[in-house]
Chain A
Amino acid sequence: MTMRPITFFRAGSIDEAVAAVSSHPDSAFLAGGTTEIDLLRLNVVQPTLLVDVNDLPLTYLEDVDDGGVRIGAMARMSDVARAPRIVERYPGMSQALLLGASEQLRNMASMGGNMCQRTRCSYFRDGQSPCNKREPGSGCSALTGINRGHAVLGTSEQCIATHPSDVAVALVALDAMIRTIGPDGTNAIPIERFFLRPADTPSIEHPLAHGELIVAIDVPALPVARTSRYVKHRDRASYEFALVSVFSAMRVDDAGNVAELRLALGGVGTVPWRAHRAEEALIGRPATPENFAAAADAEFADARTTPMNEFMVTFAKRAIVRELSEVTS
């Protein structure tokens, strides 16, 4: 453990924030601090400059286009969860937020920060075990260690860490757009391109340039999302990360076929996991438990497991089948 002095700077404007971070190599944005301060104290991250973005005018929630919503990056999880337009248009997203962390944390934690939260892998967080995500090239302790909660989808030889966010699962299903302002100007990143799988570079989790600030998350209009849902299964009834979670938004036509489906999974992937294969397997097909099961099988066809986490595949499939069956019944 080493201790370093840290400079704290409260940015008064977006430009100031971006300039401060991009001009200083060991710097980071500080939003609610619920991830950043933890990791700093655990010595997992070691910034020497923290640029506080809490004063920036980014707490808004506003309508865009025809029924979509733009969520400011500094909007707090609890405010977003209870905002009427979120509850009405994207109830599954509201549920995902409310099932995350605790009320106290949600009051602090921002939506932008949530997108950038780090994995709960205990080898990453202990600050010393070999970990390719924290210390590229040092190895992955989780491969042979305690990996009950680790990912079975999107893994690599380098890293099997689970992405812990709940609301991001909803957002990948909704095809949200991450809007940023960086040293090179503004940018819009489709959310599935925002979360990077570990592949050979588990330390790189996002395509953000150093100093690039998330300013908003756009959630497009999506009528089917009005009946969306989020379920989260975990080791205790509250205040715990998911073993497996499922976001679903489905429309079944009069003939009993799946007309529209958005399906995403939490707790099982190295990124918030959009279940594309399952969606493809189901759209246009009868909404039956057999088809749901086949779709779940397809989604996990390439799952890579360890002796400790192989149960997750079974659990996740059951959770999908049950969730879709519930929605249709």
Chain B
Amino acid sequence: MTVSTVAPATVEGGVGTSARRPDGILKVAGEFAYSSDLWADEMLWGATVRSPHPSAEIRAIDITAAVALPGVYAVLTAADVPGARHYGLEVVDQPVLAIDEVRYEGEPVAIVAADHPETARRAAARITVEYAVRAPVTDPEDALSRGDLVRHVPVRRFASAGGTALTADVVVTGTYEVGMQDQAFLGPESGLAVPAEDGGIDLFVATQWLHVDQKQVAACLGLPAEKVRLSLAGVGGAFGAREDLSMQVHASLLALHTGKPVKMVYGREESFFGHVHRHPARLSYEHGATRDGKLLYVKARIVLDGGAYTSSTPAVVANAATLGVGPYDVPTVVVEAYGVYTNNPPCGAMRGFGAVQACFAYESQMDKLAAEVGLDPVELRRRNAMTTGSVMPTGQLVHGPAPVADLLALVRDRPLPPAATGDPRERPGGVANTTRGEGVVRGVGYAIGIKNVCFSEGFDDFATARVRLSVVGGEPAVLVHTAAAEVGQGLVTVQAQIARTELGVTKVTVATADTSVGSAGSSSASRQTYMTGGAVRAACQAVKATVLARVGRAGELALVDGKVVASDGAVVASLVDLLGNDVVEETVEWRHKPTRPLDPVTGQGDAHVQYAFAAHRAVVDVDTELGLVRVVEIATAQDVGKAVNPQAVVGQIQGGTAQGLGLAVMEEVQVVDGVIRNPSFTDYLIPTILDMPPMAVDVLEMGDPDAPYGLRGVGEPPTISSTPAVVAAIRAATGRPLTRVPVRPEHIAL
């Protein structure tokens, strides 16, 4: 028996339990300190001057009136940026403050620090910027023909027999559109920058990845990384929107300039300009199949509007391309995916990351194909479902479990919800509607999606964890320290669970994430439990090895309930006695198995680490006269490998599904000529609790041998297939083609 298999299961609050969240009660009681609650004595408040134009040349900036305002400490423009004047996640192209031109509405042009937020805003309003307005490029196809390309990812794979010809007995085509979705997190961008005595800066901020922020902020400030220290402040949701910088450099610049702490908090409207959105997409598909519904080929052209700057568009394009046919065995695949620059709001990371747009299109196509060949939609999918050992369009072999058919069967076999009872609350449109059932049609729709977990394409993806074991107050205690961002998903809880399981110690504290420990990578790509969880586990195992080495016979011993226990269960020593005043601390940098870049011409390569799958069945009642939709129930099944915290897993599945439902029927950032028309939560609609139906959730645990505890990233898959499932259900009820999301009443009933 190996050391690592002895301890699990016995510890309270360990892996596999729904351990309580330390932040849970605080958040529910309204006492949790979010980044917008940060405070420092004598701090100043920052404000940002933003471009009202999607495209313009800056002729002049006059700050005199702003500087003259009492209470104003600093007014800075691009010329005041001491280091690099651009930043970016991978491509460094976004100006800290606009240089000679603006390329999207809301682009930061100047920043102000004042002793009161109102004064700062007032000063910002006094800054006059002379613009020579240009016609914005807002149509992605125009951008493409102009050559404003961020990235083109082709994926070409041909069945060994058929050659390169795309022919089939049954062919279905379709063009689909996905509107721009917002992450709609509740905690706006905010943080506090505090100038330090060493000339550096301490930055407290709500973000997804402290170290990537640190790197960019340091470069822009012209400081070495060690002088830019970041700590995670309370994050009110992220969903990808905090992957790019917002106020980080601005607050730091103002703090260094004034020698005072500077706080910046965006308002709700400003937040719509302060972060990237989900890429709007236009997707044209052609599916070829045999008469009995076996896919022969899929041909697709996907155009994603990246907006004004690169952000994470290159990786989003790669995801759309490589995951573009869905979790199916397709012998021949020809996908061309493009990301383009326009003068629309920049788009980047959002939960589902390129897989969402593709899934809406390929699942719509699968339904179309099912109808064409006369098969039930689930049966058609089952016939084409990938399995372990399948080959992706990239040529990558799917090693781990791929229970696509099982997941579909699970949602299909759930009992259907009963017919509406006539209770007004069950009507489409809720109590506000009056129909007693005439014109109300029920529809059922299915969808399944695939998502890659962790960073891809050869990226050196790692996480660092420092774990310390010592005796505190007469009890063994563990301190876990990582830089991983708790963004609400429950990562702090999970880290403690892992430490409890590995070290057999119940008292575990997770230190605030900061940059005094190595990078943990981003809280994105559904990777953090896998990656930082893996690092914490590895660091715990290193600590355990050190401790057990003191006893000797390490291989036969385990740590259980604060004691060293032999394989026959006999207690060899207590940790308290064994450690005394010693501290055992280990830091581990942990990596998943390496990935490879995609071949730029064929799109072939083992680019992804792990695949995750979720299936949805949506049941809707549609008022076909007035286009009102009530989602009656959503059943979902997801393979999570190992539910490290079952309650958190279900929370992710429900939240992700709601976000997908939002995209299906209401969420869209409306952009006209590059200008956002609905930057508020009154006008950008997200589902309320009345829009969200009860959910039936099946969680499969088919361990992935490559992953810690066999786990599979959980966060993104539920967002991906819920959108097409809801739309499929509305189609089933109405017979409408519904090729664009969000679907609106007028698309359903006219």
B400 at the interface (CB under 8 A from A): no
Query: Which residues from B are CB-within-8-Å of A238?
Result: 430, 688, 690-691
A326 at the interface (CB under 8 A from B): yes
0/1 per residue, A301-323, Cβ < 8 Å to B? 00000000001001100110011
- B685 near A235 with CB under 8 A, answer yes
| Residue on A nearest B690 in the bound complex, by CB | A237
Q: Report B619 CB to chain A, min CB distance, Å.
A: 16
B736 at the interface (CB under 8 A from A): no
| Residue on B nearest A242 in the bound complex, by CB | B432
Query: For chain A, what secondary structure do more than half of its interface residues adopt (helix, strand, loop), or is it mixed?
Result: loop
**Given that A146-B672, A318-B626, A323-B434 are contacting pairs, would A1 and B121 also be in contact in the complex, using a CB cutoff of 8 Å?**
yes
B677 at the interface (CB under 8 A from A): yes
B249-270: which have CB < 8 Å to A? none
B435 at the interface (CB under 8 A from A): yes
- B436 near A122 with CB under 8 A, answer no
- A3 near B688 with CB under 8 A, answer no
- B429 near A233 with CB under 8 A, answer yes
Query: Which residues from A are CB-within-8-Å of B687?
Result: 236
A31–B627 alpha-carbon span in the complex (Å): 37
A290 at the interface (CB under 8 A from B): no
**Given that A145-B672, A322-B434, A326-B436 are contacting pairs, would A237 and B626 also be in contact in the complex, using a CB cutoff of 8 Å?**
no
**Given that A237-B429, A237-B690, A318-B625 are contacting pairs, would A243 and B434 also be in contact in the complex, using a CB cutoff of 8 Å?**
no
- A237 near B688 with CB under 8 A, answer yes
Query: Which residues from B are CB-within-8-Å of A233?
Result: 429, 432-433, 626, 628, 745
A134–B207 alpha-carbon span in the complex (Å): 39
B386-442: which have CB < 8 Å to A? 429-436, 438-439
B5 at the interface (CB under 8 A from A): no
A229 at the interface (CB under 8 A from B): yes
| Residue on A nearest B429 in the bound complex, by CB | A233
Query: Which residues from B are CB-within-8-Å of A146?
Result: 670, 672, 677
0/1 per residue, A224-235, Cβ < 8 Å to B? 000001011111
B581 at the interface (CB under 8 A from A): no
A3–B122 alpha-carbon span in the complex (Å): 5
A315–B436 alpha-carbon span in the complex (Å): 17
Query: Which residues from B are CB-within-8-Å of A128?
Result: 52
A202-247: which have CB < 8 Å to B? 229, 231-240, 243, 245
B744 at the interface (CB under 8 A from A): yes
A21–B677 alpha-carbon span in the complex (Å): 34
- A2 near B688 with CB under 8 A, answer no
B568 at the interface (CB under 8 A from A): no
A99 at the interface (CB under 8 A from B): yes
Q: How many A-B residue pairs have CB under 8 A?
A: 88
- A231 near B434 with CB under 8 A, answer yes
A284–B435 alpha-carbon span in the complex (Å): 25
- A315 near B434 with CB under 8 A, answer no
0/1 per residue, B574-596, Cβ < 8 Å to A? 00000000000000000000000
- A236 near B688 with CB under 8 A, answer yes
Query: Which residues from A are CB-within-8-Å of B433?
Result: 231, 233
A235–B664 alpha-carbon span in the complex (Å): 12
Among A3, A120, A235, A329, the residue within 8 A (CB) of B125 is A3
B381 at the interface (CB under 8 A from A): no
- B628 near A2 with CB under 8 A, answer no
Query: Which residues from A are CB-within-8-Å of B683?
Result: 120, 122
Query: Which residues from B are CB-within-8-Å of A323?
Result: 434
Which of A236, A238, A311, A318 has the most chain B CB within a 10 Å cutoff? A236
- B429 near A314 with CB under 8 A, answer no
B678 at the interface (CB under 8 A from A): yes
- B749 near A2 with CB under 8 A, answer no
B630 at the interface (CB under 8 A from A): yes
- A315 near B627 with CB under 8 A, answer yes
- A2 near B125 with CB under 8 A, answer yes
B223 at the interface (CB under 8 A from A): no
A99–B435 alpha-carbon span in the complex (Å): 17
A293–B670 alpha-carbon span in the complex (Å): 34
Query: Which residues from B are CB-within-8-Å of A122?
Result: 677-678, 683
Query: Which residues from B are CB-within-8-Å of A239?
Result: 688
Query: Which residues from B are CB-within-8-Å of A240?
Result: 685
How many residues on the A side are at the interface (Cβ–Cβ under 8 A)?
A: 31
B118 at the interface (CB under 8 A from A): yes
Q: Report A322 CB to chain B, min CB distance, Å.
A: 6
Among B625, B666, B672, the residue within 8 A (CB) of A236 is B666
B145 at the interface (CB under 8 A from A): no
| Residue on A nearest B631 in the bound complex, by CB | A237
A101–B690 alpha-carbon span in the complex (Å): 14
B682 at the interface (CB under 8 A from A): yes
Query: Which residues from A are CB-within-8-Å of B434?
Result: 229, 231, 322-323, 326
- B432 near A234 with CB under 8 A, answer yes
- A1 near B688 with CB under 8 A, answer no
- A315 near B125 with CB under 8 A, answer no
- B744 near A235 with CB under 8 A, answer yes
| Residue on A nearest B432 in the bound complex, by CB | A232
- A236 near B691 with CB under 8 A, answer yes
B750 at the interface (CB under 8 A from A): yes
Query: Which residues from A are CB-within-8-Å of B121?
Result: 1, 3
Query: Which residues from B are CB-within-8-Å of A245?
Result: 432
B746 at the interface (CB under 8 A from A): yes
A99–B670 alpha-carbon span in the complex (Å): 25
- B690 near A243 with CB under 8 A, answer no
Among B435, B438, B630, the residue within 8 A (CB) of A237 is B630
| Residue on B nearest A122 in the bound complex, by CB | B677
B674-711: which have CB < 8 Å to A? 677-678, 682-683, 685, 687-688, 690-691
- A319 near B432 with CB under 8 A, answer no
Query: Which residues from A are CB-within-8-Å of B672?
Result: 145-146
A235–B627 alpha-carbon span in the complex (Å): 9
Among A311, A314, A322, the residue within 8 A (CB) of B435 is A322
**Given that A2-B125, A122-B683, A240-B685 are contacting pairs, would A235 and B432 also be in contact in the complex, using a CB cutoff of 8 Å?**
no
0/1 per residue, B431-466, Cβ < 8 Å to A? 111111011000000000000000000000000000
**Given that A237-B690, A238-B688 are contacting pairs, would A120 and B682 also be in contact in the complex, using a CB cutoff of 8 Å?**
yes
Query: Which residues from B are CB-within-8-Å of A236?
Result: 665-666, 685, 687-688, 690-691
0/1 per residue, A1-45, Cβ < 8 Å to B? 111000000000000000000000000000000000000000000
Query: Which residues from A are CB-within-8-Å of B690?
Result: 236-238
Q: Report A243 CB to chain B, min CB distance, Å.
A: 7
- 13 further A-B contacts with Cβ under 8 Å, apart from A1-B124, A232-B429, are A3-B121, A99-B431, A231-B432, A233-B626, A233-B745, A234-B432, A237-B630, A238-B690, A240-B685, A245-B432, A314-B749, A318-B626, A322-B625
15 pairs across A/B with beta carbons < 8 Å? A122-B677, A122-B683, A231-B432, A231-B434, A233-B628, A233-B745, A234-B429, A235-B685, A236-B690, A237-B691, A311-B745, A311-B749, A315-B627, A318-B749, A322-B434
